[in-house]
Amino acid sequence: MRYGLAEVARRAGVSPATASRVLSGAGPASAASRAAVLAAAQQLGYQPHPVARQLARKTGTRIVFAVRDNRADILRDPFVTRATTAMAAALDPYDVGVSLRHLGLDCAADLERLSADRGLAGLVLAGHDRELLGHLPAGLRGRTAAIGAGGADVDSAAGVGALISRLHAVGRRRIALIAGPSWLAASAAPVGAYLRLVRAAGLRARIVRGDFTSDRGGAAARAILTRWPDTDAIAAVSDATALGALGALAAAGVRVPDDVAVTGFDDIPLAGTACPALSTATHPVEEIAAAAARAALGEAVPRRLFPSVPVFRDTCGGSASTA
Amino acid sequence: MRYGLAEVARRAGVSPATASRVLSGAGPASAASRAAVLAAAQQLGYQPHPVARQLARKTGTRIVFAVRDNRADILRDPFVTRATTAMAAALDPYDVGVSLRHLGLDCAADLERLSADRGLAGLVLAGHDRELLGHLPAGLRGRTAAIGAGGADVDSAAGVGALISRLHAVGRRRIALIAGPSWLAASAAPVGAYLRLVRAAGLRARIVRGDFTSDRGGAAARAILTRWPDTDAIAAVSDATALGALGALAAAGVRVPDDVAVTGFDDIPLAGTACPALSTATHPVEEIAAAAARAALGEAVPRRLFPSVPVFRDTCGGSASTA
DNA sequence: CTGTTAGCGCCTTCAG
DNA sequence: CTGAAGGCGCTAACAG
């Protein structure tokens, strides 16, 4: 009822080796035997045993998506959730499953252990810093892909730039930035874009660090109001942060966008439905995750920057529209 | 540099079989050899080869989370996303990855194919109907778990009941229900709870079918307003549906909750931030998903009903609070 | 309790 | 281009 390669070979009148060649790696085979094997396989409803195959090929069975952060509940972050799901769907046809794991900031030992895991088909890393990517254990090279700076990344400089330009265009002149954590490689580009624009406009920089929680977003907003009370716009590099800031501003009796405009980053589902609706930048997270996953499997995925396109909604001031 | 079981056995002065017994299944072994093996393994940094193990044990390497629905983009549904992520995290320690797959309503053939997949460690099914669970291919029995009615389920009768009781308690008397699709097993319990309460209160039932999209939620709300213009409350069995209804009501100039109260179901992150903030019922999705995943692996997971606890926010009328 | 003997199902040299 | 033989690393059945 369940047939193996041997049976297919027998029916096709060839050796298992030949059958294997046509069914798997597409090794050399005459047109005749190829046809015979294919026919036999078809007729028997042959399905290769993925585990046996993976053992023989020394190729793993799952990729792990490792997210580095100081908080373990980063695994519930909307970005992580979306990316994980996208990978799980994208790798299904490859007979490869995905595992999700949290890594502390100091994760050298964990990576070492991962590199010794022969069940690992590939690793997708998020939340890395420059250091980490440069010093991957040898066993991980060639089967690791990163999401964010240095890997499958979004053109965050463009996205943040567009958002800030818009703030400037609608008359904001005292624009503060809630940046990402400094240990994160992906934090650099947005800060760079911000600084470039602010300086070009002859304005002074106002930067506070946040993370990906709304709590910190609220705290950051309060810090900004305290330190620079005349701030008229806050750009956050995460939607959760922006939402937290929105809450803090409301609590402080500051009107958005009248008094202070706010922008986020990533366009999580929440962004459009929040009140007021959040202006942010939208990203093809599913595509990014799928690209990273395939790269982790060793596929040659062209390294490109994914688009970061601004979405202007209520919190931005000016009239709502998409750039 | 990478050691196998054989080397561990050699160092411990026992046979590979004995080493295997202590390292894996915890088969019989004397204290002495157990200690020796453990020591050797420790010292060598031995890590078993998961794929070889899975091949020998005839146990698969991944579970697939199959979601049955008429729309393929159900895979982006917040519940699916959350559940997938939770499984990916929960199964990591088992060396089992998760794959995500969409199934059409008519999926007998797909299940047949799945049952032939020897890489499959287990199947988690969502969106099933009674029929489906009863007629699983033989190869899937014992390694399939369902999420929802008949599997790892939420006490939706209690949750919906609590929500509707509250609507009644704050004075609503013309309460409509936007139920789930009729092909879905999980749709039954909420409808039952609704009917029971409405009848007990001597009211008339007003039921419309929806699905898990906000579009259909909006359409359903419009249908309700058309058919029963005096409706003063709408209970939806999904947050997305409720959010869609909210939009439709706003567009129709109906005030929420003053004119019509609204409740959702599931407490997606959006619910609390929407405006007005949505009253709904909250569920331990991560726990549910993890339980289902473990059950799919063959673990004996006690079948229990997970709590569905109401969260009263703005859209419910009355004063906001948690029951 | 332990070692020996066979596989698990496929892939991959290596001759021919 | 093809077949035979051996191995991937571990587990399971069976004597002892």
Q: In one letter, which amino acid is B312?
A: F
Task: Give the model confidence (pLDDT) of A279-319 as tens digits.
Answer: 999 999 999 999 999 999 988 889 899 999 999 999 988 75
pLDDT digits (tens, 9 = 90+) for B141-181: 889 999 999 899 999 999 999 999 999 999 999 999 999 99
Contact A62 B63 (CB under 8 A): no
Residues A147 and A202 both lie in one domain: no
pLDDT above 50: residue A322: no
- The model's confidence at residue B322, banded by pLDDT at 50, 70 and 90, is very low
pLDDT of residue B30: 82
C-alpha to C-alpha distance for A164 and A194, rounded to whole angstroms: 7
Non-local (6+) Cβ contacts of A25 within 8 A are: none
The 10s digit of each residue's pLDDT in B63-121 is: 999 999 999 999 999 999 999 999 999 999 999 999 999 999 999 999 999 998 999 99
Q: Pairing between strand B233-236 and B175-179?
A: parallel
Cβ(B322)–Cβ(B310) below 8 Å: yes
Q: What is the dihedral of CA A285, A289, A292, A293, to 10 degrees?
A: -170
B window 102-131, beta carbon within 8 A of A:
102, 113, 116-119
Please tell me the predicted confidence (pLDDT) of residue B278: 95
**Whole-structure pTM value:** 0.92
Q: Is B287 an interface residue toward A (CB < 8 Å)?
A: no
Same domain, residue pair A242 and A295: no
Assess B50–A contact: CB distance below 8 Å, yes or no: yes
Is B243 close to A273, i.e. CB distance below 8 A? yes
Chain B residues closer than 8 Å to A62 by CB? 61-62, 95-97
H or E, element range at B189: helix B188-200
Domain count of the fold of chain A? 3
Q: Quick one: B158 and B111 in the same domain? A: no
Does the CB of B313 have a partner CB in chain A at under 8 Å?
no
Instruction: Give CA–CA dist A8/A39, Å, rounded.
Output: 9
Say if CB A7 and CB A44 are below 8 A apart: yes
- Asked if residue A318 and residue A197 are part of one domain, the reply reads yes
Residue B323 pLDDT level (bands cut at 50, 70, 90): very low
Share of chain B above pLDDT 70, in %: 98
pLDDT for position B35 = 86
Average pLDDT over chain A, rounded to an integer: 92
Residues B266 and B175 in one domain: yes
Per-residue confidence at B319, pLDDT binned at 50, 70, 90?
Answer: low
- For residues A167 and A219, state if they share a domain: yes
For chain B, the maximum distance between any two Cα atoms, rounded to a whole number of angstroms, is: 83
pLDDT value at B134 more than 60:
yes
Q: How confident is the model at residue B1 (pLDDT cuts 50, 70, 90)?
A: low
Query: How big, in percent rounded to 5, are the helix, strand and coil portions of chain A?
Result: 45, 20, 35
A181 vs A202: CA distance, rounded Å: 26
Rounded to whole angstroms, the Cα distance separating A67 from A74 reads 8
Q: How far apart are CA A55 and CA B53, in angstroms?
A: 10
**pLDDT, tens only, A207-259:** 999 999 999 999 999 999 999 999 999 999 999 999 999 999 999 999 999 99
**Looking at residue B72, which CATH number applies to its domain?**
3.40.50.2300
Shared domain check, B279 and B291: no
B-chain residues near A61 (CB < 8 A): 50-51, 54, 61-62, 97, 119
Query: Which residue of chain B comes nearest to A91, CA vs CA?
Result: B99
Task: Output the pLDDT for position A319.
Answer: 59
User: A266 and A192: one domain?
Assistant: yes
Touching check for A13 and chain B: CB below 8 Å? no
Q: Flag if A88 and B88 touch (Cβ within 8 Å).
A: yes
Q: What is the 3-state secondary structure (H, E, C) of B132-166?
A: HHHCCCHHHCCCEEEECCCCEEECHHHHHHHHHHH
Mean pLDDT taken over chain B: 92
Q: Are strands A321-322 and A309-312 parallel, antiparallel or unpaired?
A: antiparallel
**How far is B113 from B292, CA to CA, in rounded Å?**
21
Both tokens of A206, joined, read 């106002």
- Same-domain status, A247 and A210: yes
Interatomic distance B8 CA / C2 C1' (Å)? 16
CA B74 to chain centre: 13
Q: Is the pLDDT of residue B320 over 60?
A: no
B134 is in which domain, residue-wise?
A: 62-152+287-306
Contact call for A95 and B51, based on CB within 8 A? no
Asked if pLDDT for residue A321 goes beyond 70, the answer is: no
Same domain, B161 and B215: yes
Closest nt to residue A21, judged CA to C1': C11
Is the same domain home to B170 and B316?
yes
- Residue B250 corresponds to which tokens in the numbers above? 């706003």
> Residue written as tokens 């509250």?
B166
Helices (H), chain A: 5-12, 16-23, 31-44, 50-57, 78-90, 108-115, 130-134, 156-169, 188-200, 214-227, 239-251, 269-273, 285-296
pLDDT tier, A146 (very low <50, low <70, confident <90, very high otherwise): very high
- The pLDDT value recorded for residue A251 is 93
Q: What is the mean pLDDT of residues B121-146?
A: 92
Cα-based angle B60, B62, B68 (whole degrees, multiple of 5): 120
What confidence score (pLDDT) does residue B274 get? 82
CATH number at residue A34: 1.10.260.40
Q: What is the pLDDT of residue A323?
A: 41
> What was the pLDDT predicted at A142?
87
The pLDDT of residue B6: 87
Burial class (CB in 10 A: 0-12, 13-18, 19+), B287: middle
Q: What is the pLDDT of residue A156?
A: 96
Instruction: Write the pLDDT tens digit of every residue in B262-308.
Output: 999 999 988 888 889 999 999 999 999 999 999 999 888 898 999 99
pLDDT digits (tens, 9 = 90+) for A158-202: 999 999 999 999 999 999 999 999 999 999 999 999 999 999 999
Whether residue B165 is found in the same domain as residue B222: yes
